[in-house]
Amino acid sequence: MKNLKTDLSFVATLIVLTVALAYVLQCAYDMTVILSTLDTTDFLGASMLAFKPSFSVSPLVTKSRKFGESNKGRLFCGLHTPAYRVLNHVTKALLDAKLFDACVVMISRGYHKHISHKSHFSVTISHGYSSVTVGARQIFAVDEHTRTIYHIDATGRLRVTDYHQGYDMTDVIAQVSEAIEVLADCYVPPVVERVKEEPIWWTLKRVMLDRPYHGPIKGRKVSVVAKFLRASKKEVRWCVEWMDKNNPSKTRIEKGGWHTAYKVEIDGVVAWLPHSILGGLHNMPFTQRNQNACRLDVPEWWVRKNITEHFVAPF
């Protein structure tokens, strides 16, 4: 009886071990199938890759720059072609997302162009050197010294190749586009408060050249069209300085002048027109625009005395 129990216990143990071994082998087989069909870079992360991922290409790029503003563009402008594709894409994406004003943009400085938003991302082209950064990582660069392209793709794999203009920038554009999407979700435009400008109360500060006072026209006045012929030799010049009543440091200078009389032609009659009877004009009424014909208000008595009495009817 005791031997029978021992045999049954041995058989049960053997069955359990067999089932456990089969389960372990099945799990190992399933894992092998899963790993062979899935993209391990997306599922497991860079820590389980067969290669060591790179963080930035910055240590690989020459720190000093080979070309500058004094060099001719034909020496290096061909090195900008790949980065230009990223720059154009970023410009359009920022405009579409209405984020262009949120970024630092320098795209009109000859062979130096740059777009960035703080430390979030940047695209730089400068005299043969090209750089694309996302966060603290420099994911793309063109070394103008060695004419070498350094590129870290989305999986962290470093790619080093000799420069050629047809380099595929799809991965770089995709990484920068993802950064712009994050910026669009997080960016809050600043609220610009309009400052209400207080009215300026100008008050006289000093008189540099005194301005003679000519009062308004007394009595009846008429409107005439006068053709300017010439001005008298004697001139009157004036100049005064005004200041803000609430802010004396803010000043403005006003100046002008006129001739004492003008030789004009009105209705075919030539006469001298004194400036003092024009009703307080502080400047010469005739300018380069209206020398041919200028409408003026003059006293009626002057018209009667100088124009009407000398007017000759055509019939």
Query: pLDDT tens-digit profile of 9-57?
Result: 766 777 767 767 777 777 776 667 555 544 444 444 444 444 556 789 9
Q: Is the pLDDT of residue 288 over 70?
A: no
Of the CA atoms within 13 Å of residue 153, those in its CB half-sphere come to 13
Of 147, 151, 153, the residue nearest 171 (C-alpha): 153
CB 104 within 8 A of CB 114: yes
Domain boundaries, the chain: 58-186, 202-308
CA distance 259 to 82: 68
User: How much of the chain, in percent, has pLDDT values that exceed 70?
Assistant: 83
Longest dimension (CA), the chain: 162
Span of 7-16, 130-139, 202-211 with lowest mean pLDDT: 7-16
Higher-confidence residue of 44 and 66: namely 66
Tell me, what's the pLDDT at 125?
Answer: 92
Q: Is the pLDDT of residue 124 over 80?
A: yes
Q: Which residues contact 274 (CB under 8 A, 6 or more apart)?
A: 260, 261
The H-or-E segment that residue 281 falls in is none
Query: pLDDT tens-digit profile of 221-260?
Result: 888 888 888 888 888 888 989 999 888 889 999 888 888 8
Name the amino acid, one letter, at 264: V
Of 295, 303, 158, 162, the residue nearest 223 (C-alpha): 295
